[in-house]
Amino acid sequence: MKILEKIINSVLYFKSIYLLLIIFCQSIQAQPMQLKFGIGNYEGLNIGMRHTFKKLHFEYGLGADLNVFQQGYNTNVHALLGKKLFKKRAEQPLQYYFQFKTLLWYIENPSNQFLNASFSPELMIKKKLNSDFELAAYLGFVWTTNLKYVRKTYQEIGFPREFQPGFGLQLFYKLK
């Protein structure tokens, strides 16, 4: 139960930082905020927000994998900062970004509990679908470090791999 309390405290801490960043971002925001829906191998099914500025974008969100891979329930908090790689030209069909993502994630199964932090440089390609929606795909590599580990049984043991690929799809909706 202590691990759950620590996760809740961590989420509340990150939530407070995100709320301060939202207030800051809204005060200097160049474009409308976007709601994001996504799926990724680390974030699972996720929802969040995107703030776009003149040269950078900032995203944050919550995700869960709903035990799809039968490895335990995974929940996470993630944030990223990205920069457009090329200047926008008139009617450019695709936009390319370099971004750096940070994830704090927790996984629990019958044998283990993990609290991990992951860091990921990524490349993202984004396409505008219409005036309100954009579709993006990203690919990168993820470095993971274990912050807390609790072994519940001696039947199985395993740790997340230190380096793995990270990939996913996202749909952005412009808030009016």
User: Rounded to two decimals, what is the model's pTM?
Assistant: 0.74
Q: Cα–Cα distance between 83 and 58 in angstroms, integer?
A: 9
Grouping H, G, I as helix, E, B as strand and the rest as coil, residue 56 is strand
CATH of the domain at 97: 2.40.160.20
Q: Cα–Cα distance between 85 and 57 in angstroms, integer?
A: 12
Q: How far is CA 167 from CA 5, 66, 107, in A?
A: 30, 18, 19
Domain count, the chain: 1
| 107 confidence band (pLDDT: 50, 70, 90) | confident
Tokens 């932090």 correspond to what residue?
Answer: 117
Domain that holds residue 76: 2-174
DSSP-assigned letters across all residues of 94-157: EEEEEEEEEEEEEEE-SSEEEEEEEEEEEEEEEEE-SSSEEEEEEEEEEEEEEEEEEE--SS--
User: What digits encode the pLDDT tens for the residues 50-86?
Assistant: 988 877 888 999 888 776 656 667 788 889 999 888 7
* 26-51 mean pLDDT: 81
pLDDT confidence of residue 51? 87
User: What digits encode the pLDDT tens for the residues 110-163?
Assistant: 777 888 889 999 999 999 999 899 999 999 999 988 888 887 777 766 666 678
Contact, 72 vs 44, CB < 8 A? Answer: no
Residue 175 has pLDDT above 60, yes or no: yes
Q: Cα–Cα distance between 60 and 49 in angstroms, integer?
A: 6
